[in-house]
Amino acid sequence: MTELQLGLIGLGATAVVGVFGYNKWQEYRQRKLAEAVLKPHHADVLLGDAPKSSPPPAVAERSEPEIRVDASPRLAVRLEPVFIDQPPTPPSAEINSAAHEISMPEAPAFENPVAPVEPTPVQEAAPAPMFAQAPAAIPDDASDDVPNTPAAALPAELLDPRLEFIVAMELVEPVSAMDIIHSQRPALVRLNKPVHWIGYNERSREWERLAPDSELKLRRLRVGLQLVNRQGPLSDGDMAIFTNAMQALADELMAVADMPSSRVLDQAAEIDQFCAAVDLEIGLNLVSRASAFSGTKIRALAEAAGLVLGLGGVFTRYDDNGRVLFSLQNYESTQFSADTLRTLTTHGLTFLLDVPRVDHGERTFIQMTEIAKRFADTLNGALVDDNRQPLSDSQLDHIRREFIGKPQATMASYGLIAGSPQALRLFS
């Protein structure tokens, strides 16, 4: 080993010893300074310490301070939270938005002594309002500035998890419904099942069905793929197309697509089996006894009974809410229209009632049979079944109970009311 290496080793050892000694000296100096600063110079009025001249007593444990006010009975005072301009928000405050209540954390213990304050008696008064003033109303033209408030529960009338595969998306920035719906339109048009678009309107604070041309800007979106309709249950191919389209939409919107993990295809098969047992359509045929029925008479009787001629070539009776009750169509192949009824003649008519799509089906069936009997008396016809056998009142009553009342009761036991929005989607 050379002299240079020995010299460097010696210098290094000297430096280490010097640094260690300097640190010890600084530690000793800071400890003495802290003892001088933190040494108590006066009595603690909160802890009941002895005067400065007497030595402090030895304390085994630190007890909680107790405030005494002139040896008088303790006053119970309830403090209401008061909202002032720009109040500081406690880091652990918990806000219950549903009940509009604010629960504050317990006040921390102060390290520095505080002089006691004598409380003044408080008179009983009405509770102060939670807010000093009512929150400002959202203007009608608000769009991006609408606050992101908690959304209400999604009504089953719009989307039902039993009947639809529902994808939930929460957007960071509001996007118009029209842009959202048309984003994945090329992929979704290949589906054999309907897709329902539901958005949360921040102004009305309600979920609503979205139209393809809607300009409503959304932060909350729900998309439902219907599992079953009258064409059958959902297929594996449709499921794959839909999930891929929803994931692509979420990537485009920079959102997270929350998809339920369940037996979707099995669920669709079970619903389809249930639908097959209650999907009935009751038809009453009215056939001529002699001469054919005149189109002008048919139109006059239909309009007198409140039936409206539609574009589909049938007369339809609606309830007060615009829902279909039953319809009347030509027993022969020619459809009804304003032009053909002037010269049309037919040997039969058919009254139709769609059981799962009609609310209060038994009552509606009675109305339909009464109108059908009125047609029969005026046109000189007879009510018959599909085998052209006459229908008596007892047979009509049997149809009402067995083929309308029981299927609708089965639907109700399943939690699916006939004629409800869910039933109209399912039996479409």
DSSP 390: B
The pLDDT of 280-305, averaged and rounded, is: 95
In a domain, 386, yes or no: yes
Residue type (1 letter), 415 = G
Report the 10 Å Cβ neighbour count for 397: 14
The pLDDT of 336-363, averaged and rounded, is: 96
pLDDT in tens, 58-86: 444 444 434 333 433 333 333 334 333 44
Listed residues 228, 256, 274: the one ending a domain: 274
Which domain CATH number covers 238?
3.30.70
| Same domain, residue pair 287 and 422 | yes
Tally the residues of the chain.
428
Domain residues for 355?
279-426
Tell me which residue of 166, 148, 144 sits closest to 215, measured CA to CA. 144
In a domain, 94, yes or no: no
| Same domain, residue pair 416 and 285 | yes
| Same domain, residue pair 252 and 201 | yes
Residue type (1 letter), 337 = S
| Same domain, residue pair 247 and 311 | no
170 strand-pairing partners: 220, 256
| Same domain, residue pair 210 and 308 | no
| Helix, strand, or coil (residue 34) | helix
| Same domain, residue pair 346 and 294 | yes
Mean pLDDT is lowest, of 108-122, 188-202, 238-252, 272-286, for: 108-122
pLDDT at 19: 80
Report the 10 Å Cβ neighbour count for 9: 11
In a domain, 44, yes or no: no
Higher-confidence position of 93 and 342: 342
| Same domain, residue pair 230 and 210 | yes
Listed residues 251, 274, 297: the one ending a domain: 274
- Which of 4-13, 22-31, 146-155, 404-413 has the highest mean predicted lDDT (pLDDT)? 404-413
| Same domain, residue pair 297 and 380 | yes
Per the structure, the count of domains in the chain is: 2
Sign of CA dihedral 406, 410, 415, 418: negative
Confidence category of residue 35, pLDDT binned at 50, 70, 90: low
The pLDDT of 403-418, averaged and rounded, is: 96
390: which residues sit within 8 A by CB, 6+ positions away? 382, 383, 384
In a domain, 152, yes or no: no
| Same domain, residue pair 337 and 418 | yes
Listed residues 207, 239, 274: the one ending a domain: 274
pLDDT at 31: 74
d(CA 400, CA 396): 6
In a domain, 305, yes or no: yes
The pLDDT of 286-293, averaged and rounded, is: 94
Which domain CATH number covers 304?
3.30.1400.10
| Same domain, residue pair 319 and 368 | yes
d(CA 81, CA 29): 48
pLDDT in tens, 129-152: 333 333 334 344 444 444 555 667
Tokens 């005072």 -> residue: 77
pLDDT at 10: 83
pLDDT at 4: 83
| Same domain, residue pair 357 and 415 | yes
pLDDT at 22: 78
| Same domain, residue pair 188 and 241 | yes
In a domain, 157, yes or no: no
In a domain, 422, yes or no: yes
